[in-house]
Amino acid sequence: MSIPLGLSTFAADGVRKTVLDNGLVVVTRELHASPIVTTVLWYRVGSRNEEVGQTGKSHFLEHMLFKGASRFAKGEIDLLTLKNGGGNNAFTSHDFTAYYFNFASDRWKVALEIEADRMVNCTFDADEFDAEKKVVIEELKGNLDSPWGLLLQELDATAYKVHPYRNPIVGWLQDVERATAEEQQAYYRKYYHPNNAVLVITGDFDAERTLEDVARCFAGIPAGPAPPAVMLVEPEQHGEKRVLVRWRSKVPRIAIAYHAPEIAHGDSYPLHILGAILAEGKASRLYQRLVERDQNVTFVTAEYGESKDPTLFHIRAEGRGRHTAEEIEAGIHDELRRVVEEGVTPAELMRAKHQIEAHFILSRERTLDQALLFGQIETLYGLDYIDTYLRRISEVTEDDVSRVCARYCREDNRTVGWLLPDKSAEIVEEDITSEEDSGESAPFPEGGVQ
Please, what is the minimum distance in Å from the beta carbon of residue 234 to another protein?
29
C-alpha to C-alpha distance for 99 and 227, rounded to whole angstroms: 20
3-state secondary structure of 257: strand
Q: Which stretches of 268-381 are DSSP H helices?
A: 268-279, 285-286, 325-342, 346-362, 367-380
Residue 405: which residues within 8 A CB-CB, separation 6 or more? 274, 336, 339, 340
The DSSP code sequence of 219-261 is TTSPP-PPPPP----PPPP-S-EEEEEEES-SS-EEEEEEEE-
Contact 317, 254 (CB under 8 A): yes
Nearer to another protein, 24 or 31 (CB): 31
Alpha-carbon gap, residue 397 to 307, rounded angstroms: 23
Query: Closest Cα to residue 139, out of 32, 224, 227, 60?
Result: 60
Task: List, as one string, the DSSP characters of 83-126.
Answer: HTT-EEEEEE-SS-EEEEEEEETTSTTHHHHHHHHHHH-----H
Minimum gap (Å) between residue 98 Cβ and another protein:
16
Q: How many residues can be counted in the chain?
A: 450
Strand partners, 419: 245, 253
Q: How far apart are CA 208 and CA 201, in angstroms?
A: 12
- Residue number with CB closer to another protein (82 or 233): 82
Q: How many Cα atoms are found within 13 Å in the side-chain-facing hemisphere of 69?
A: 19
Give CA angle at 141 (136, 146), nearest 5°. Answer: 130
* Least distance CB 45 / another protein (angstroms): 22
Number of Cβ within a 10 Å radius of residue 293: 10
Say if residues 100 and 38 touch (Cβ distance below 8 Å). yes
Closest distance of CB 444 from another protein, Å = 7
Minimal distance, residue 351 CB to another protein, in Å: 5
CA 340 to chain centre: 29
398 Cβ contact list (under 8 Å, min separation 6): 343, 344, 345, 346, 349
- Is residue 31 within 8 A of residue 216, CB to CB? The reply is no
